[in-house]
């Protein structure tokens, strides 16, 4: 979406892992960045350029730091919650009230370390704001803004509220089976959680200029919305 000598803003596709780990050594976003940009002497040597992450199957805007100064500056903006992030999410049901805030600390699930939970022994603050944008009956399209960037934050918060992200089998179980026939038909080709990082707002680490970037919904999610609107 954008690149200069200090930063890049990319539109990450769903299915791409950000960096190596848990048996994954290649085919990551970091591999692609190094191929495109060359060596990145910034941040964790195992995660060069990475300031924040998106889940493997979440698409959308990500910021990349291309040097140490940019990495430090962007990391501080994330830490101080100066970076504003907005997502599009399709969830089961219709949250009430139609606009609200979920403030539930998150941490590793004590029974399954691969999952995140509101019942963790060690948890960190997590705040999610949501607004219903379109009501399709059994599912709703939300605009979601997060103050914190905890792992699986939106997915866990919405599931905890009783409105898991459509397509999220980890936290939503088999909710798809209970949908009306027409909705099931519209969603049958969805192979991922309907969660997309739509916008990011921040200050350029060198110039201080206020920047914002928007990633359009990928075609497979736009197709889902088109079917729902019909």
Residue 11 pairs in a beta bridge with: 61
- Per-position DSSP letters for 125-192, written without gaps between them: --EEEEEEEEE-SSEEEEEEEESS--TTHHHHHHHHTT-PBTT-HHHHTTGGGGS-HHHHHHHTT--S
**Euclidean distance between CA atoms 53 and 63, whole angstroms:** 9
Using DSSP's 3-state secondary structure scheme, residue 209 falls into coil
Rounded to the nearest 10°, the torsion over CA 103, 108, 109, 113 is 160
Q: Which of 6, 44, 55, 135 is catalytic?
A: 55
Reading the block at residue 215, the tokens are 């990633």
For residue 55, indicate whether it is catalytic: yes
15 Cβ contact list (under 8 Å, min separation 6) = 56, 57, 192
Q: Which residues are catalytic?
A: 55
């Amino acid at each position: 979406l954008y690149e200069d000598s200090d930063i890049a803003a990319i539109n990450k596709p769903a299915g791409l892992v950000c960096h190596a780990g848990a048996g994954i050594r290649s085919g990551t976003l970091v591999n692609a960045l190094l191929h495109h940009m060359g060596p990145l002497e910034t941040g964790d040597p195992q995660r060069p350029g990475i300031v924040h992450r998106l889940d493997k199957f979440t698409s959308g805007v990500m910021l990349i730091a291309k040097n140490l100064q940019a990495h430090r500056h962007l990391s501080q903006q994330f830490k101080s919650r100066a970076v504003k992030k907005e997502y599009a999410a399709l969830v089961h049901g219709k949250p009430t009230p139609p606009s609200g805030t979920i403030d539930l600390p998150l941490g590793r699930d004590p029974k399954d370390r691969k999952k995140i939970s509101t019942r963790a022994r060690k948890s960190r603050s997590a705040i999610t704001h949501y607004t219903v944008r379109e009501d399709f009956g059994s599912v709703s399209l939300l605009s979601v803004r997060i103050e914190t960037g905890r792992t699986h934050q939106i997915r866990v918060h919405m599931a905890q509220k009783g409105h898991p992200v459509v397509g999220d089998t980890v936290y939503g179980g088999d909710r798809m089976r209970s949908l009306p026939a027409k909705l099931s038909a519209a969603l049958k080709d969805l192979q991922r959680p309907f969660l997309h990082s739509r916008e990011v707002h921040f200050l350029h680490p060198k110039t201080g200029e206020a920047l914002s970037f928007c990633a359009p919904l990928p075609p497979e999610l736009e197709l889902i919305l088109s079917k729902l609107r019909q």
